[in-house]
Amino acid sequence: MSKIKSASEAISIVKDKDRIMVGGFGLIGCPLTLVEALAKHSVKDLTIISNNLGEPNGKGLGKILHQYKIKKAIGSFFTSNPDVIKFVEKNQLDVELVPQGTLAEAIRAAGAGIGGFYTKTSANTILAENKEYRWIDDVKYVFEKPIHANVSLIKAWKADKNGNLVYYKTARNFNPVMAMAADICIAEVDEIVEPGELDPEEIVTPHIFVDMIVKSEVNL
105 lies in a domain?
no
103 lies in a domain?
no
- Please say if the pLDDT value at position 57 is more than 90: no
Looking up residue 157, the CATH number of its domain turns out to be 3.40.1080.10
23 lies in a domain?
yes
Q: Give CA–CA dist 103/117, Å, rounded.
A: 12
* Model confidence, pTM: 0.96
Domain count, the chain: 1
Nearest to 144 by CA among 177, 109, 183: 109
Q: What is the mean pLDDT of residues 82-89?
A: 96
122 lies in a domain?
no
68 lies in a domain?
yes
175 lies in a domain?
yes
The mean predicted confidence, pLDDT, of the chain is 97
Cα separations (Å) of 85 from 52, 59, 73, 150, 168?
A: 12, 15, 12, 26, 31
Q: What is the mean pLDDT of residues 118-140?
A: 96
Contact 19, 45 (CB under 8 A): no
46 lies in a domain?
yes
183 lies in a domain?
yes
> pLDDT by residue (tens digit) across 159-216?
999 999 999 999 999 999 999 999 999 999 999 999 999 999 999 999 999 999 999 9
Domain containing residue 74: 7-98+147-215
Nearest to 85 by CA among 61, 63, 53, 58: 53
pLDDT at position 218 is 83
* 3-state secondary structure at position 144: strand
Q: How confident is the model at residue 103 (pLDDT cuts 50, 70, 90)?
A: very high
Q: How confident is the model at residue 1 (pLDDT cuts 50, 70, 90)?
A: confident
User: CA geometry: angle at 212 spanning 41 and 183, to 5°?
Assistant: 80
pLDDT above 70: percentage of residues in the chain: 100
pLDDT at position 176 is 98
- Please say if the pLDDT value at position 219 is more than 90: no
Contact 7, 41 (CB under 8 A): no
Contact 189, 213 (CB under 8 A): yes
Q: How confident is the model at residue 140 (pLDDT cuts 50, 70, 90)?
A: very high
pLDDT at position 125 is 96
